[in-house]
Structure 1
Amino acid sequence: MKDATQHPTTTSRGYMRPMQGWWRRDPFFVRYMVREATALGVLAYAIVLAVGVVRLAQGEAAWNGWLSALRSPVSITLHLVLLACMLVHAQSWFEIMPKTMPMIFVGGKRVAAQTISRIGYAAAAAAFVAVLVIAGWLR
């Protein structure tokens, strides 16, 4: 006996929802995709730094060659684009931070999400200033 769910004469595949460009229809998803795409910029910069470590291990000539490549106009432009990617990516993490951590209560009141994000920004700014001080750029 044949299975009643099989219909050998039916050729219809049913409704197939169009998927191409689905994210472009809603501004929320456009922002989401841009944020996700910035991770590729973070990856690209990680690769640049990894190449620098490899060149450093290869000796002074390789290191100096890598440094001179970083001074080229193409590299400077690339670094500006990657900096923009890093800033957008970091901003998205600071916005997401309050949504991913447990609720914090101070004095019986819940700390606002905006306050948590601002503390994250302040901590990042303090770390940046500390790096500048350690590097000796603020004399």
Structure 2
Amino acid sequence: MSVFELDERLARDSDLITVLGLCQLRLLKDSRWPWLMLVPQRAGMSEVFELTPLDQALLTFETNSVAAALKTVTGATKINVGALGNIVRQLHVHVVARFEGDPNWPGPIWGFGKPEPYDDGSRQIFINKLAEALSS
């Protein structure tokens, strides 16, 4: 059995917030959008259908919980959820809060402009609010 290792690109571009039942919950290092990522801690997975049925159910539950918490915290116009993996093949799910008038609205966030890092204070406030919403 292989050991789970986080792809170095995912590690470089995000910070660990917490570990849920199945997934690492990570915050992307780009403050232009409240942008979270779930990474199932299963080695060698690149597609949702490769997970066991139980892990598929857990991933769906965790994705929906995170999306609902993100909507609560941000009041976003739309929550975008996607598992693309064209560049980084390791299975991961993006959960992004979008707002009318945000950078590149209504277009995609990928490849648009340059990431803008969080300052430590706003990053921590966001994480605290998210943790509170997840525990409700």
* TM-score w.r.t. length of structure 2: 0.28
RCO comparison, higher one (Cα < 8 Å, 6+): 2
* TM-score w.r.t. length of structure 1: 0.28
Structure in which a larger fraction of residues adopt strand: 2
